[in-house]
Amino acid sequence: MLWVRLGIRELLRNKGFALFFVANLTVGLCGFVAVQSFSRSLDRHLEDNLRTILTADLVLTANAPFTQAETDLVHRVLGPDREQARVIRFFTMVSTRETTRLVQVMAVDASYPLYGGFVLESGTARAAIHDGPGVFMTRDTALALGIREQDTGQMQGSLKEPGRDKDQLLTLGNKDFFVAGFFADDPDKALTTLELAPKLYVGIGHLADTGLLDFGSRVRYHTYVRVSPDTDVSSLSQELRQGFAALAPDQPRISVRDSRDVSQSLSSVTGHFTGYMALVSLVALFLAGIAAAYLFRGFLGGKHREIAVLMSLGARRSGVYVYLFTQLVFLGILAAAIAIALSWLLLPVFPVLLKGLVPPGIRMEMAPMTWVMALGLGGLGSIVFCLPVLVRILSIKPLVLLRGPLAAPGVNGWWQAAAFLPGIAWFCLGAVLVAGSVTTGIIFTAGFALAFLVFAGAGWLGAIWCRHLARTRHLVRKMAFLNLHRNIWSSLACFVTIAMGVFLICLIPQVQKGLQTEIQRPEGLKIPVFFLMDIQDNQTRDLEAFMETQTGILENLSPMVRGRILTVNGTPFHTRENNREAQGRPRRMEHNFSFRRDLDTSESIVQGDPLSRTPWDFGSETPFEISVAQSFAQDHNLAINDVMAFDIQGMVLKGRIKNIRKVRWNSFQPNFFLLFQQGVLDDAPKTWLGAVSRVPPDLRLSLKKNIVETFPNISIIDVTQMITTLTFITDRLSVSVRFMAWLAIAAGLVSIFSIARHQARSQAVQTNLLKVLGAGFADIKRISLLEFGSLGFAAAFVAVLLSIGFSRAVSWYFFDSLWQLDLLYLTGILVLTTLICMATAVAAAGKILKARPMMLLKKT
């Protein structure tokens, strides 16, 4: 206890050191604890609401109505003691008197939803959409469709009284509907609030009259099931999957999902951005640890003589360790306590930063386990960070140190190297844990280590080069660069912390800039205004003739036939190993196939020869030719000359891969994974896709309405709205990552302030000597500005260059080289970092700079 009391008392006498040590760790811990708390809150929200999100215990999904055999299987496995609801989901166009827009129709029966429910305004009955042809929607959807609140009552009357104003109705296909009510809570919970189209709920009994369930329409048939609470849902899911597999050996036609599948799916989505933010916050904590170790080095260096005296009086070396460990643990726990309080205030920021990307209504909480983790990181982390400094005690020999202040021998190199191992292991383990993947954690650690080594090497070379820059008669330049060279370790600590923070800030925007530019204005491609779907085979000529009378150009009218991939080189496709399974993504056997005479401008052959222009002789023993998209070939390990068997509307056909082509999907043109030789699909029942371009903004709404009025079954996607949504997503993700990167910069700035303050104090005699020799306050201030300004500029410049290289590599590996240099942003970060470093250094050294020269005389 004696050593503990001595340690606390020593900290109280060195309030400056204690304050900045705690400030460093607090900033580093704050972001890490906040991200962990947000991630846990998000996971807890999803776990607590899994059944409500799914609206059932089990969901069975198919692309066509269930057959009698499948219905009998469901009844046999689940038994009579169950609740069941039917939902038909599809996209289509809705018309009102003011606009036409793509919507997602949810045709539900009276039992839906089995969990949760509609939170309807004005006490509207849930049966309203079943009693009459009504719809439920949100008020935001009504606003987007131009529906005013006073219109809703008129709509109901319009259907009951034939003479009423038909302009007050919503039209879905061939049938008119009225707004039966508004809901504030959508029972069909999604992970995010961003959707391709708003939802309209209608009664399933009113769907047949719309005429929207034609051949080729993309419709999903769902059966929702609720079982008794004590039922083993996972066992039922497995039994159903096996039963459906027995009915269709090649591939089950019906997919089965339960709450466990939803949990895995949602966790994989949320884990990407929360994991990355946690990794960035881990870097901020590591940088704070570097600064804390440097501060402790200065503190311990001033205590060598005191420690030597204690050891001369009989103190054991173990007692000295307890004395120092007590100080570090106390400061670390204090920093953790402050970080917990600040993180509590920071938590509400995350739902705002990620608005639209996470489900609304998340309850932000900080679990007791998070407190324990933070206190453990603070107490033990401070020791791990400072361990390379603590081993210096091993070199303290009282008799030697009492002879002079700097007579301590060096530390054994093996001990010094071993002292770094716990910190490295701590960082690697932390990266694996927060990333949730050993591979991701190791890759991130390797990338961080590479960046760290580059910055450390550049900083070391720069500090050495400062010796040459100091060879000048100009007082300000000479003293500034000499200080950087003489204090090489403090200069290196500042350089690495600032460089790492700037690197993180500059890395993501480069990737984001390339993605957004490629989405909005892909080089060499023309983005269409509308994308048309569900065009029937007998409508193509009428549509082409219709578009000749309208403003806009119909292009890339492409046939689409749905089929299944059976085998590849005789091996069943659904059992064949592929890259998708390695990434945990489910296998799909059903795909859309097409054919075209010439490739689109968004496609280019990267391997093999073009498909033959001669149509394939249907029924020939020779396999027809196939062109495969490069991404599909990589995912499924396909190569030139592989033979594939297909089930196309009941007929088994074989084809051989002739070429691999690169597809730029961001063109928003009709593109397909698999293109067949002409003559294979020509006579097959098919639907068509198309694109419309060159439509002036003021005529787009009228063109959309004209197409829907003439061809009610055709669905139209507004590409400009989709681009806006995608841009919004990349913006929000970039903002959240930059927010965490600025925390890393904050840790670096605290480090600069602490190191600058320490340097100013250690150079107090030099500073006052310059004043005695006639140097003015302005000159001494300029020395400090140049010293830390050049340090900040050099660190930021190296970090910007490295971020360009790293972002280019990330874009090449993950985003098919979608990258663009944002020179203005990088220049702004470079200038801003330099100015911040200069201001921080002057603020830290201000008291010393203003001290009177009499101080020197008192010390001497």
What is the pLDDT, as a whole number, of residue 582? 40
Distance of alpha carbon 458 from alpha carbon 802, whole angstroms = 11
Interatomic CA distance for residues 714 and 94, integer angstroms = 11
pLDDT for 585 equals: 43
Residue 815 reports pLDDT greater than 70: no
- C-alpha–C-alpha distance, residues 52 and 188, integer Å: 8
Give the model's pLDDT for residue 166.
Answer: 44
Most confident of 487-496, 505-514, 518-527: 487-496
Distance CA 455, CA 833 (A): 16
Which residues on neighbouring strands pair with residue 554, listed in sequence order? 692
Residue 373 has pLDDT above 50, yes or no: yes
Q: What percentage of the chain has pLDDT greater than the value 90?
A: 12
pLDDT for residue 241 is more than 90: no
- Average per-residue pLDDT in the chain? 78
213, 207 in Cβ contact below 8 A?
yes
Measured distance CA(791)–CA(778) in Å, rounded: 20
Q: CA 385 to CA 766: how far, in whole Å? A: 31
Check whether 284 has a pLDDT greater than 60.
yes
| Distance from chain centroid for Cα 259 | 23
Contact (CB, 8 A) for 389 and 297: yes
pLDDT number for residue 680 = 92
Angle 47-50-55 (CA atoms, 0-180°, nearest 5)? 165
Helix axes 421-435, 259-301, angle to 10 degrees: 160
Burial readout 84-109 (b: 16 or more C-beta within 10 A, e: otherwise): bbbbbbbbbbbbbbeebbbbbbbbbe
The token pair at 611 is: 């498909």
Q: What is the DSSP string of 320-349?
A: HHHHHHHHHHHHHHHHHHHHHHHHHHHTTH
255-264, 462-471, 599-608: least confidently modelled range: 255-264
**Angle formed at CA 447 by CA 445 and CA 450, multiple of 5 degrees:** 105
Q: Which residues face 61 on adjacent strands? A: 222, 255
Residue 570 dihedral angles phi and psi, to the nearest 5°: 85, -10
Residue 817's pLDDT is 55
Structural contact between residues 182 and 201, judged by C-beta atoms closer than 8 angstroms? no
Confidence grade of residue 159 (pLDDT, cut at 50, 70, 90) = very low
Q: How many CA atoms lie within 13 A of 383 on its CB side?
A: 16
How would residue 222 be classed by pLDDT, with cut points 50, 70 and 90? very high
In this predicted structure, the answer to whether residue 357 has a pLDDT above a threshold of 90 is no
Examine residue 113 and say whether the peptide bond preceding it is cis (omega within 30 degrees of 0).
Answer: yes
Q: What is the pLDDT of residues 407-462, one digit of tens each?
A: 444 555 566 677 778 878 877 887 887 776 787 788 878 887 888 888 889 988 98
Q: Virtual CA dihedral for 427, 429, 432, 435, nearest 10 degrees?
A: -60
**What is the tens place of the pLDDT at every residue in 661-688?**
998 877 778 889 999 999 999 888 888 9
Per-residue model confidence as pLDDT tens digits over 752-766: 666 666 665 666 666
65-76 pLDDT, tens digit per residue, is 888 988 899 899
C-alpha distance from residue 48 to each of 43, 279, 436, 450 (Å):
9, 26, 21, 41
Least confident range from 105-109, 145-149, 265-269: namely: 265-269
